Structure 1
């Protein structure tokens, strides 16, 4: 029977490895023949091979954990965890009773109902089991309640990573003191930091978990990691992070990577926007084989970094283009805003100018209305013209700004400049604001509309015949 010519499922392969470890048989064909004879039941095959009676076993043989496959190949040479020690056969009646009552608290089963391989034997066994069931219920309930209370009062102490950077730096110092400083450059930071660094720089990350108690660790560090070819290749192609699993930071990373033996190397790279383990190297490996494994893994996964770089360059280009477009848009928007602001200022200035013009026009209209009202009032304020033969008469010839001529007689001693002013103001062609002046010699008559007392014509020096000019003050 040739093992290489037969295809086994992953479950049967793991069962074959378990049976070989437990039985100590080196011939895989013989192990497969025994398992096939017992329908691949590891427990039954072990009992039959060792000549044991299952009923005499205080604890059944526990199934070994099934490990996942590595790169599609079964982990035949992977060291398996040690199986738990078997309980010694029970000899005395007292030992049987104590084991029967207290085994439920030492195993995962509650003990209230028997497992298939722990069923009572015969009528006496079932009678004893049923009669003791109430007591077992009380004891199991009391045990779990007590355990729950103690967990509340004294919670389980779990170590926390308080100084992960210190753990890594301490390991590097200890490694240099033990094996020298001829090794690949170790990243002096936490595992999270080196992951971010590798993701930011789009580089491969080589994580090394160091276990000083493993038999292959010293050989690996002195022969493989210090090899110049290994150092040059690692430093040129990837970042390397290392830590001891005896430290809290190393233990935390160990729980995440789930290594099976030491020395352990994990090759990590960004794959589909997340950091992914793409290669695992477990156990001692020669320098040339290590370089070849790393080169093959990097070559197989380089396409992911190329795609990530292209995607990052495209995003950077799009971002720069979008930034330029945003700047151009903002510049155009700023120019439009300045134009709108200029238009708004011009519009406000024009509105202010029009408002001032309207105010001036309104003021002028009010002024005209006021002067028209005063002209109408002046008609009623003109004194009667004296007769031509009366004494003290002054004949005045008045010339308006537009060339019209007025003539009228006034009393030199009775009429005042106010009477002369109203006579000129009442004429439709007279200006609204004016001064009166003699023609020769030319002098302005002392007239103000708000004077307290108004001088007579004689007092201002007008004779029996005068010629006056009306001067428009608004011209």
Structure 2
């Protein structure tokens, strides 16, 4: 073989890792070196070998729980398959067997390897999606025009396997079309164990086992009733990882696992090699009988947790209802108290306003009375002393609306204004607006005659006037 250079070997190593998913670089180098660095030949040998060379890859779970450990022998009593060291020693024999199987599946394998190499190359260049984050968009089955539904790559692999299995072998166990971890969580929710089938398309016993045993009516019905079934091809990413995690050494391979704590799975039973329907049914019945107490206990504990949670929710709901009722009553009490306080405050405000109005009216009345008193005093002072009788003195008699009469002497030279000052100086209520009127003939001594003298007005030597109120 010609020297490929450092970059050439690294490219082949990366391509082999992309297809097989093996993380151990030293193991990949040994396998490629044994096949003269022929990637296609090494992959074919790896796929067709009785057991994969790679150790378990780390996945979204921590690994397979060690309790209970898998039996040291196969269920039929056969010896345990040889280890990795023996496989490396007998690697040339595997190469020959892989070459024969490569001829029969050259076309499919060529496309598969090319796809893996391209996918890995794109990821190295940062142009592709990570393997754990790949998504597939498929249209909804309910309507061709419905929006695309995004599913994960592992779910797409599972759906592809289910369709391929039913198309090739007919109806068998009801494999779920979802990833392994989703199926494991489904089995945990349903309080069932997970039946795992790893499909090896190139194994000679696979067609007979699938059509004769897995698809047997009794076996399929028992699996569907007592297990959640998950299947995957070892040519798919997750199926290959599960073959490493479950240490599948012989095919056909089935296993029964159960969800354990700390994101781990407990391996209950491995079923390796071809089995008749009767053997499969007997093994699965034994597994169900042995694991029934664990599942019943888990179901009872979960029911108790649900009952306790429901009781707590009911108690919380009752407490919240009582609290809300108390809060509503307290709000109502506060609102009633605030209403009463507002009414009392409004009454107090009105009382104060009325009191202020009364006080204001009283002050105004006092002020008005004081103003009238000052006015009467000022008018009386402006009149001066009443003159004695004489030829130049005029006698005036004033009659008020209430029938009262008042009289006074004035100088004949005094003006009509003096008569108004005289009336204003008297303590007569209701005399704010008035007019002095003469009776025979009727003469109104209004504002236009205030500056006339008594002589000029014809009131000398004596006259009688009426006080006529002006409305």
Deviation (angstroms), 1:210: 2.0
CA–CA separation in structure 2 for the residues paired with 1:394 and 1:308: 115
Indicate conservation of the 8 Å contact 1:279/1:297, yes or no. Answer: no
Structure-2 residue corresponding to 1:172: 162
Structure-2 residue corresponding to 1:292: 285
Deviation (angstroms), 1:319: 1.8
Structure-1 residue corresponding to 2:21: none
Deviation (angstroms), 1:421: 10
User: Given the superposition, is the C-alpha separation of residues 179 and 169 from structure 1 closer, same or farther in structure 2, using an over 3 Å criterion?
Assistant: same
Which of 117, 128, 131 does residue 160 from structure 1 map onto? 131
User: Given the superposition, is the C-alpha separation of residues 291 and 364 from structure 1 closer, same or farther in structure 2, using an over 3 Å criterion?
Assistant: same
Of stretches 234-243 and 388-397 in structure 1, the one that deviates more from structure 2 is 388-397
Structure-1 residue corresponding to 2:424: 419
CA–CA separation in structure 2 for the residues paired with 1:421 and 1:80: 145
Deviation (angstroms), 1:247: 0.7
Is residue 356 of structure 1 aligned with residue 353 of structure 2?
no
1:255-313 CA distance string (max 9 Å, x none): 55454444444444455696742513231442332332332244132211221222123
Which of 315, 319, 322 does residue 328 from structure 1 map onto? 322
Of stretches 269-278 and 307-316 in structure 1, the one that deviates more from structure 2 is 269-278
- Computed over aligned residues only, the root mean square deviation of the Cα atoms, in angstroms, reads 4.5
Indicate conservation of the 8 Å contact 1:267/1:279, yes or no. Answer: yes
User: Given the superposition, is the C-alpha separation of residues 201 and 73 from structure 1 closer, same or farther in structure 2, using an over 3 Å criterion?
Assistant: closer
3-state DSSP class of the match of 1:391?
strand
1:213-246 CA distance string (max 9 Å, x none): 3454334322321222222222223322211121
CA–CA separation in structure 2 for the residues paired with 1:465 and 1:307: 117
Is residue 316 of structure 1 aligned with residue 310 of structure 2?
yes
CA–CA separation in structure 2 for the residues paired with 1:340 and 1:317: 34
1:74-109 CA distance string (max 9 Å, x none): 62433234426469xxxxxxxxxxxxxxxxxxxxxx
Is residue 384 of structure 1 aligned with residue 386 of structure 2?
no
CA–CA separation in structure 2 for the residues paired with 1:417 and 1:312: 108
Structure-1 residue corresponding to 2:72: 75
Mapping of 1:271-286 within 5 angstroms? 276-277=265-266, 279-284=268-273, 285=275, 286=279
Deviation (angstroms), 1:186: 1.4
CA–CA separation in structure 2 for the residues paired with 1:420 and 1:266: 131
Deviation (angstroms), 1:168: 0.9
Gap runs ≥5 in structure 2 = 1-54, 56-63, 74-78, 91-122, 135-152, 390-394, 409-415, 438-443, 447-463
CA–CA separation in structure 2 for the residues paired with 1:417 and 1:232: 133
Is residue 249 of structure 1 aligned with residue 220 of structure 2?
no
Deviation (angstroms), 1:379: 1.2
Aligned residues: 304
3-state DSSP class of the match of 1:205?
strand
TM-score using structure 2 length: 0.53
User: Given the superposition, is the C-alpha separation of residues 242 and 397 from structure 1 closer, same or farther in structure 2, using an over 3 Å criterion?
Assistant: same
Is residue 342 of structure 1 aligned with residue 321 of structure 2?
no
